[in-house]
Amino acid sequence: MGKSQNQTAIYDARKELGYSKVAILGLQHLFAMFGATVLVPIITGLSVSTTLLFAGLATLFMHVVTNFKVPVFLGSSFAFLGGYAAVKTAGAALGYSDRVSLNYACLGVACAGLVYLVLALICKAFGSKRVMTFFPPVVTGPIIISIGLILAPSALNNCATNWPIALVAIFVVIICNIWGRGMIKIIPILLGVIASYAVAAVSGNVDFSAVAEAKWIGLPVIWENTGLSVFTGGEADFGLFLTAVITIVPISFATMMEHVGDISAIGGTVGKNYIEDPGLHKTLIGDGIGTAIASLFGAPANTTYGENTGVLALTKVYDPFVIRLAACYAIILSFCPKFAAIIEIMPAATIGGVSIILYGMISAIGIRNMVENKTDFQQSRNVIIAALIIGLAIGINFSTGLGCVYEGSTTIAGAISFNIGSMKINLSGLAVASIVGILLNAILPGRDQVFGDQPDETLASSLGKY
């Protein structure tokens, strides 16, 4: 809103600014989260309308759980993209369509959301510091690096459909991020998408027939596109379900670190310790249940959004009511299929252009995670853990298929395949790497990095959103 740097912080926007200005501030938060939130369903094949609906509902639920104290917005998480892709690959090998495979992936993400509840209970019982020592940067850093590296080829394939359009997105994102000011610097991804989309439309590379056919008002949830639908209309494939769970749940350990970092960052921005009040266990419950419910109904996993924390810092308006207003805007937009159609026909090259930056940033943040936490790579244990995580994640993902299966069965490319009885399980490289890294960190001697040793500001910067 163009406020000066020394302006007094506002904790009750309705009283100090009035409802008209609050409405505009709510729109600003909507725009801040919008670009990244809708990009996840576009990449994965999930519904944009469902995503917006449950981003808004999850945000409102989070505010209820945290006693309306924390000015946080929950939007789509990029961390699970590799999991969705791996489950789609496993499902295709078993003869399932991408849509059905996505439904099983959503069930896996829902289980990952429930892991948040387990950690919340443990944090309440034993304290956050003791629990988080099992997930130091030497484990989460290489996992984050691997997520970006695994996803990068899909971004290049999308760019290859029309490189000029992809380059427009790339250049606009770079220019806005480096030389932009104010809101322009906060929403470079959204601006890159808009600019590239506009160029594609003007040059005749977009077919708007789907937009013309779409209704103005419609329901944002379609039963056949939900995780729950796999239990209706026939027998569920428990093997594919277990594959999805084992593949996706380990990713939640990295996203929980992201959650801690973002809550710390929000607290540092606002000047309040939300880890203590309302408590990390409450924010984890809000994030976890929000993710679980959203996934069951076909939306992506949710995560605390750093983009909206940036808006808080810019405006110095810390009233959580403004965030709740943005959530209501998202819910309203979710009931407009025509709007969703505009998003869903976005050119693949536009998606590729912004994705290649986002995926690279994921890996870069994994590196920053370890550097800023001073991970000591002179210790052999740390080198071994990082090497095995990256080696297994990348090696298995790009393999032709590994494992031991019954005669007449086949392995799946990019996974380790094995049978439990008559049930076939396929573990992605990311799942194997995460499990191995966590176990090695717990077993090998010399574990010296302890969660909570850093000030909140340093911790927040090193565990930023990915």
1 within some domain: no
pLDDT exceeds 50 at position 465: no
pTM score, whole prediction: 0.72
Q: What is the mean pLDDT of residues 360-380?
A: 83
pLDDT exceeds 50 at position 463: no
What is the percent of the chain where pLDDT is above 70? Answer: 85
Of 39, 103, 427, 14, the C-alpha closest to 297 is 103
260 within some domain: yes
Tell me which of 37-41, 48-52, 91-95, 314-318 is least confident: 314-318
Helices within 373-420 (DSSP H only): 380-397
Residues in the chain: 466
How many CB atoms within 10 Å of residue 162? 21
- Note the pLDDT of residue 261: 65
188 within some domain: yes
pLDDT exceeds 70 at position 122: yes
Under the banding of pLDDT at 50, 70 and 90, the label for residue 459 is very low
Q: What is the pLDDT of residues 399-444, one digit of tens each?
A: 876 665 544 455 566 777 777 665 566 677 877 888 898 889 989 9
Contacts of 438 (CB under 8 A, 6+ apart): 134, 135, 139, 250, 253
149 within some domain: yes
Q: What is the mean pLDDT of residues 456-460?
A: 38
Q: What is the pLDDT of residues 276-292, one digit of tens each?
A: 888 888 999 999 999 99
- Note the pLDDT of residue 106: 95
Tell me which of 76-90, 110-124, 322-336 is least confident: 76-90
C-alpha distance from residue 209 to each of 97, 275, 402 (Å)? 25, 49, 44
Tell me which of 296-300, 339-343, 344-348, 430-434 is least confident: 430-434
Does 4 or 45 have the greater pLDDT score? 45
Q: What is the mean pLDDT of residues 319-330?
A: 93
Q: What is the pLDDT of residues 145-160, one digit of tens each?
A: 887 888 788 889 889 9
The domain total for the chain is 1
406 within some domain: yes
pLDDT exceeds 90 at position 382: yes
pLDDT exceeds 70 at position 272: yes
Under the banding of pLDDT at 50, 70 and 90, the label for residue 37 is confident
- Note the pLDDT of residue 451: 46
Contacts of 43 (CB under 8 A, 6+ apart): 81, 154, 351, 355
Under the banding of pLDDT at 50, 70 and 90, the label for residue 132 is low
- Note the pLDDT of residue 46: 92
Q: What is the pLDDT of residues 215-233, one digit of tens each?
A: 999 999 999 899 999 888 6
126 within some domain: yes
C-alpha distance from residue 272 to each of 13, 138, 451 (Å)? 17, 29, 19
140 within some domain: yes
d(CA 256, CA 142): 15
pLDDT exceeds 90 at position 450: no
pLDDT exceeds 50 at position 200: yes
Tokens 């789509």, residue? 76
Query: Cα-flanking dihedrals φ and ψ of residue 96, to 5°?
Result: -90, 150
What domain range is 293 assigned to? 17-462
**Residues 87/104, Cβ–Cβ less than 8 Å:** yes
- Note the pLDDT of residue 301: 92
Query: Cα-flanking dihedrals φ and ψ of residue 451, to 5°?
Result: -60, 135
Under the banding of pLDDT at 50, 70 and 90, the label for residue 105 is very high
**Residues 75/35, Cβ–Cβ less than 8 Å:** no
- Would you put residue 420 in left (φ > 0), alpha (ψ -120 to 50) or beta? beta
Q: What is the pLDDT of residues 383-405, one digit of tens each?
A: 999 999 999 989 988 887 666 55
**Residues 301/80, Cβ–Cβ less than 8 Å:** yes
57 within some domain: yes
Beta bridge partners of 417: 403, 426
C-alpha distance from residue 351 to each of 152, 189, 299, 388 (Å)? 12, 10, 19, 31
d(CA 227, CA 53): 16
Query: How would you label 418-442 residue by residue, b for 16+ Cβ within 10 Å and e otherwise?
Result: beeeeebbbbbbbbbbbbbbbebbe
Q: What is the mean pLDDT of residues 127-147?
A: 78
d(CA 304, CA 260): 9
d(CA 433, CA 435): 6
What is the percent of the chain where pLDDT is above 90? Answer: 34
Of 371, 302, 368, the C-alpha closest to 148 is 368
320-333 helix and 19-44 helix, angle to the nearest 10 degrees: 50
